[in-house]
Amino acid sequence: MKPIRINSDRAGFSLVEVALAMLVVAVGLMGVFSLFPQGTEANRKSIQETQIGLFAEYVFNGFRFQAEQLLWDSVADNSSFSITPLASDYTWKDPPEITAGPGVKAVVYKVLANQGIEEMAFRYELRVYTVAGKDDVKALVMSVWAGQYGTLTEPIVFYTEVYNYGGT
């Protein structure tokens, strides 16, 4: 039996075939890599929105907690009225009080175990309103912007109504 000979000129891939295969792979990888910045930005916004939601929850729950102890007439839309966010002493180092009234204010929360780490920073405006026809109900409207600096566009707005649970 005679051995089969392979023509060495036709074995393997040509340079053109290899270049075309690399081009197809490069185009595919460019498409995949172009999604990374969008995914990173979506992740950053998601974290900010979660922190803003938690911040609003801490403030509103702090007000509900304080509502039993406050003189209801002292709950007003001015800088003399402030709220201590609920559970903040257990979470952050020297948490700032949240002050009502017009104007944007900034707050920074630092980690309790390591004061050098800033966990959250916001700008907010907390407004207090009396609900029409209901002297024992106050409405709180809080607009929150992520971060300490930047433009004040597109705030996340939170609203709640609180009944006078026993304050006079």
**CA–CA separation, 123 vs 129, rounded Å?**
20
Mean pLDDT of 20-47: 91
> Which pLDDT band, with edges at 50, 70 and 90, does 88 fall under?
low
**CA–CA separation, 106 vs 98, rounded Å?**
9
H-helix or E-strand spanning residue 88:
helix 88-91
Q: Say if residue 36's pLDDT is above 80.
A: yes
- Tell me, what's the pLDDT at 146? 86
- Tell me, what's the pLDDT at 72? 77
Tokens of 167: 């304050």
User: Over pLDDT 70: what percentage of the chain?
Assistant: 88
Q: Say if residue 99's pLDDT is above 90.
A: no
Q: Which residue has the tokens 């209801």?
A: 72
**CA–CA separation, 157 vs 124, rounded Å?**
10
pTM: 0.74
Minimum mean pLDDT range among 12-21, 78-87, 88-97, 102-111: 88-97
- Tell me, what's the pLDDT at 168? 60
Q: Say if residue 144's pLDDT is above 70.
A: yes
Give 111-141 pLDDT, tens digit per residue: 777 777 777 888 999 999 988 888 888 899 9
User: Across the strands, what pairs with 109?
Assistant: 120
> Which pLDDT band, with edges at 50, 70 and 90, does 149 fall under?
confident
